[in-house]
Structure 1
Amino acid sequence: MTSISEPVVIAKHSKWVQLLLGLLCMAAISSPQYVWTLLTKPMIAKLGVGLAELQVTFSLLIILQTFFSPFQGRLVERFGPRLLISIGTLMAGFSWVIAARVDSLTSLYLVYGCLGGLGTGIVYIGVVGLVMKWFPQQRGFAAGTVAAGYGMGAIFTTFPISISLGSYGLEQTMTMFGLIFAAVGFLASQGLRLPETSAMMPVSTTPSPVSGQRQFKSGEMLRQPLFWLMFLMMTMMSTSGLMVTSQMAIFAEDFGISKAVIFGMAALPLALTIDRFTNGLTRPLFGFISDRYGRENTMFIAFALEGVAMTLWLACREDPLLFVLLSGVVFFGWGEIFSLFPSTLTDTFGSENASANYGWLYISQGIGSIFGGPLAALMYQHTHNWHLVFGCAITFDFITAGLALWVLKPWRARFMRAQK
């Protein structure tokens, strides 16, 4: 009598185990990006270089993580998530161990930027693609949860690394934490596996948007104009968010906020702490909402929310309390792109090649990082105020919100009907 129900129980247990393991893998690779700012000052002292030269390392990390993601996703699909994600976590962790001992800027570029960027990219793309296969009815929630692990994982390491740098120095700190990251990620990745059959998936009361759909390979997907609409939208949202979030410390000083105190705490660090939580929270939350009320409907609400929050942020820029609170709302309206877009893409083009397909869409984040930071800085240098920067970001938000509801939604509905 247990032969029928037992696989279902195992499947329900396994998908949550897979989600937890994916979350741990993502948290293990988050520090190279989110804790980099703590390493810049001791790196400058050690290598005797300027800040601008050193920051190329960080740019390489992001570029290698995003622009190579289609190739990395293809490797994950070809050789399986456990092997590739294991390799990726080791690459990310040991990039710190080796970088602790470099004595030249070129070596740092190759180790921290290139090795670390490739490693984090493999893990990020592999984990997102895997959990969307395990959660066909809850893709938004699953993708958002593991993306939150990447966005919030560094919360648990920021203060310990900061303390360790002061007590033990750069080399010992990076070696110790690099080994910890590698060990945690590698051990967690050993339990990752693909779902064996569709029968192992839990039954949902919500009609599946992907029942019997065609499974697109990356080459086929890239020939679909619908994909390029999604790519444009994610590029615009990525650029919009990074235009302001990457410049936050600078315009906080221009607005007179950097020295303000809120509830006995400095306003800027308080805002950054709140932002990290809201940026992580929004990913599974909006993903969960989109699973129930539709991807495009949720996009419209989230993207418009960010546009409104940015408008109020600029209007209330001289009020420290509102600056702190609205910064959290801005991040809350931005971080969900990492759950809404991958789930929408997989709903549309199938889960069989989810990692490779999302790799192509994820390039938009790399483009956003290039346009968002440098472009915003150039605008500020030429205008000597932040109105144009905020104006562009707000415009992108509202345009993308409109595209989601009035272009993507009907277009995708027609596309899905045509595949049946």
Structure 2
Amino acid sequence: MSFNALEQRDPGNSRWLKLMACVVAMLAIANLQYAWTLFTDSLTESLHASLHQVEIGFSLFIIAQTILVPITGYLVDRFGPRLLVSIAGVFVGASWIWAGVAHSLGELYAANVLGGIGAGVVYGSTIGIALKWFPDRRGLCAGVVAGAFGFGTALTFLPIQWMIESSGHRPALLVFGIIQGAVVIAASPFMTMPPVNWLPAGWESAKAKINARVPQSSRNYTPREMIKTGTFYVLYSMMTLVAFSGLMFAVQLKPIAKTYGLDVAIVAGGLSALSLAGLLDRLMNGLARPFFGWISDHIGRYETMALAFTMEGLAIAALSLFVDKPIWFVLLTGLIFFAWGDIYSLFPSAIADIYGPKYATTNYGIQYTSKGVASILAGPGAALIKDMSDSWLPVMWIMAACNFLAAIMAIFWMKPMVKSLVTSGVTTPLDSHPESPDPRQEPVSDSAVDGISVPAPVTDQSMS
């Protein structure tokens, strides 16, 4: 049966195919972020620049990726993802091709901004598709899509590294730029949003069980309404704290390894500690996202956040003690990437839980800008601290503290806040004059609280 026939028969029948298309597109853009560390040394030499100057390019990529996600999220919510993702594929390919022929920092920065725009469109679109097509498996499916972004570089880490070593960084950027852009374009035709009033089969029977574990809103909050709630800013702060530590390792892994001689220390199978860590880290980061998403569907979002953040803080603290030991470097960075990956399934799921699915793509796009804030700390910020102290240890201590703080916020602040909102019916708006309801939304029941309500019937419109 053709894809179109499957769509016409029942849109829900093809939702897993759409999810797979999202996974493929996310695999294709993973290198733009997670393979960056392989190019930093070559770029500093070829451009006659410092590590700090080159890392500004990484920060510009993340900022461009994150700052435009709310805008692209709005466009996706309004016009659908197919055309936008296909254009993004052109940007994704062109960014690495341009970086491959860049002879100045300005060109490198511009190429990274172009790549960030393309990656932001793909990321925002695919996460939005997962959130809207799978209200019954929100944490798991958002994690599967986000996991592809974390796991993708595991497939290409060694080939890129070998091409850089044998042919230089320019051919590697050109070849993989073409491949990545083509894959995104090929996946785009399969990406659509669910029809108005669509709900998955068996939703009514599953809804009560889901709300018992993970309270879900019976109202859809517009982006403007969302940013007037205190809950949003707590979530934003938590994601910034944890994203900083993960992004720091993503971008600084090779410089850290080189500092301690781990780029030449052979561990197993002829692979250095850096090469083996690069493979394990990407694999663990990808697996973490569906794993923690699935866990959170069963034990709750904030309990899972506290567990993962504490795990990451302990792993970073341990690495600060054993960073010069090759085996420990491989194992502990793998654990750090595993514990960090959860934020990309837990936070989009939490946003959709609290503020409803209708504007989930745009709302999470706003939340996702916290990654841009974190990138400033993780890229040039971390490099500057290292240069000032002549050691990576102070950076690691700060990272561990950020994770412990986020864990405390999740379990001792967010969880009681949500519970209080659900049981007491007391709102916590930042603006004492709530915005007039969107005429496209259903009426809000008296039990609605800051985007979360005591379990109540969900109308078709609320799931559109």
- Normalising by structure 2, what TM-score? 0.80
1:64-103 matched pairs, under 5 angstroms: 64-102=64-102
- How far has the Cα of 1:394 moved from its partner? 1.7
* CA 1:353–1:50: 2 relative to 1, 3 Å: same
Q: Which moved more, 1:149-158 or 1:253-262?
A: 253-262
Equivalent residue number for residue 3 of structure 1: none
The aligned residue for residue 241 of structure 1 is 246
User: Which one-letter code corresponds to 2:238 in the other structure?
Assistant: M
SS at match of 1:154: helix
SS in 2 for 1:207: helix
The 10-residue stretch of structure 1 (250-259 or 344-353) with the greater mean CA deviation from structure 2: 250-259
Give the AA of the match of 1:182: G
Task: Kindly provide the CA deviation profile for residues 40-91 of structure 1, in whole angstroms up to 9, marking residues without a partner as x.
Answer: 5665676666655444333321111112222222222222122222221221
Q: Find the aligned partners of 1:71 and 1:319 in 2 and give their Cα distance.
A: 45
Task: Tell me whether 1:223 sits opposite 2:222 in the alignment.
Answer: no
Residue matched to 2:347: 341
Q: CA deviation at 1:175?
A: 4.2
- Structure 1 counterpart of 2:267, one-letter code: I
Report the alpha carbon displacement of residue 35 of structure 1 after superposing the two structures with TM.
3.0
Q: Which residue of 1 aligns with 2:133?
A: 134
Contact 1:278-1:328 at 8 Å conserved across structures: yes
C-alpha contact (below 8 Å) 2:216/2:354 kept by paired residues:
no
Pick closer, same or farther for the CA change 1:272–1:239 going to 2, 3 Å.
Answer: same
Alpha-carbon distance in structure 2 between the residues aligned to 1:99 and 1:387:
31
Correspondence 1:260 to 2:265: yes
Residues 353-372 of structure 1 mapped to structure 2, 5 A cutoff = 353-372=359-378
- Residue 19 of structure 1 is matched in structure 2 by 19
Distance in 2 separating the partners of 1:100 and 1:311: 37
1:326/1:223 Cα in 2 relative to 1: closer, same or farther (>3 Å)?
A: same
Secondary structure of the residue that 1:214 maps to in structure 2?
Answer: coil
- 1:38-187 residue pairs with structure 2 within 5 A? 38-39=38-39, 52-102=52-102, 104-110=104-110, 112-164=111-163, 174-187=173-186
1:365 shift after superposition: 0.9
Return the offset for 1:256.
Answer: 5.7
Unaligned runs of 5+ in 2: 1-5, 426-447, 454-464
**CA separation of 1:333 and 1:38: change in aligned 2, threshold 3 A:** closer
SS for the counterpart of 2:418 is helix
Contact 1:244 1:389 in 2 (8 A): no
1:183 shift after superposition: 2.2
1:276–1:173 distance in 2 versus 1, CA, 3 Å: closer
Amino acid aligned to 1:121: G
Q: Deviations over 1:129-175 (max 9, x none)?
A: 11111111221111111111112212333344455556776666544
Q: Does 1:309 align with 2:312?
A: no
**Which amino acid letter does the alignment assign opposite residue 135 of structure 2?**
P
- Classify 1:161/1:252 alpha carbon distance in 2 versus 1 (closer, same or farther; 3 Å): closer
2:412 pairs with 1:406: yes
SS at match of 2:71: helix
Give 1:30 deviation, angstroms.
Answer: 1.9
Q: Give the C-alpha shift of residue 296 in structure 1.
A: 0.6
Distance across 2 between alignment mates of 1:374 and 1:160: 27
Summarize the Cα distance change of 1:253–1:287 in structure 2 as closer, same or farther, 3 Å threshold. Answer: same
User: Which residue does the alignment assign to 1:207?
Assistant: 210
- Counterpart residue number, 1:284: 290
| Counterpart secondary structure, 2:191 | coil
**Is the CA contact (8 Å cut-off) linking 2:31 and 2:152 kept in structure 1?**
yes
- Helix, strand or coil at the partner of 1:194: coil
Question: Which one is further off, 172-181 or 276-285?
Answer: 172-181
What secondary structure is seen at the aligned counterpart in 2 of 1:201? coil
Match of 2:439 in 1: none
TM-score where L is the length of structure 1: 0.88
Are 1:7 and 1:200, in contact at CA under 8 Å, matched by a contact in 2?
A: no
Distance 2:323 2:55 in 1: 28
CA 1:167/1:267 → structure 2, altered by over 3 Å: closer, same or farther?
A: closer
Query: What does the per-residue CA deviation read over 1:188-224, in whole Å, with 9 as the maximum and x for residues that have no partner?
Result: 1111111124544142543345666110111110000
Deviations 1:87-109 (A, max 9, x none): 21221122234444555543443
Stretch of structure 1 that moved more, 137-146 or 98-107: 98-107
Q: Provide the C-alpha distance between the structure 2 equivalents of 1:212 and 1:35, rounded to a whole number of angstroms.
A: 38
Q: CA deviation at 1:11?
A: 4.9
Offset at 1:300? 1.1
Is the contact made by 2:226 and 2:355 (CA closer than 8 Å) also made in structure 1?
yes
C-alpha RMSD of the superposition: 2.9
* CA displacement at 1:351 relative to structure 2: 0.9
Partner of 1:215, secondary structure, is: coil
When residues 343 and 100 of structure 1 are mapped into structure 2, their CA distance, relative to the original with a 3 A threshold, is same
Partners of 1:285 and 1:381 in 2: CA distance? 37
Indicate how the Cα distance of structure 1 residues 255 and 94 shifts in structure 2: closer, same or farther if over 3 A, else same: closer
Partner in structure 2 of residue 380 of structure 1: 386
Comparing 163-172 and 338-347, the one that deviates more = 163-172
One-letter identity of the residue aligned with 1:57: G
Instruction: Give the Cα separation in 1 of the matches to 2:246 and 2:170.
Output: 34
Whole-angstrom distance in 2 between the partners of 1:388 and 1:39 = 24
Aligned position for 1:232: 237
**Local SS of the residue matching 2:210:** coil
Give the conservation status (yes or no) of the 8 Å contact 2:140–2:297. Answer: yes
Moved more, 138-147 or 318-327: 318-327
Change (3 A) 1:378 1:41: closer
1:389 and 2:395 equivalent? yes
Of stretches 236-245 and 186-195 in structure 1, the one that deviates more from structure 2 is 236-245
SS at match of 1:262: strand
- Conserved 8 A contact 1:243-1:375: no
Deviation (angstroms), 1:385: 4.0
Identity %: 37
Deviates more, 1:132-141 or 1:67-76: 67-76
Unaligned runs of 5+ in 1: 1-5
Partner Cα distance (1:99, 1:381) in 2 = 26
Higher mean alpha-carbon deviation, 370-379 vs 355-364, is at 370-379
**Alignment partners' CA distance in 2, 1:271 and 1:43:** 22
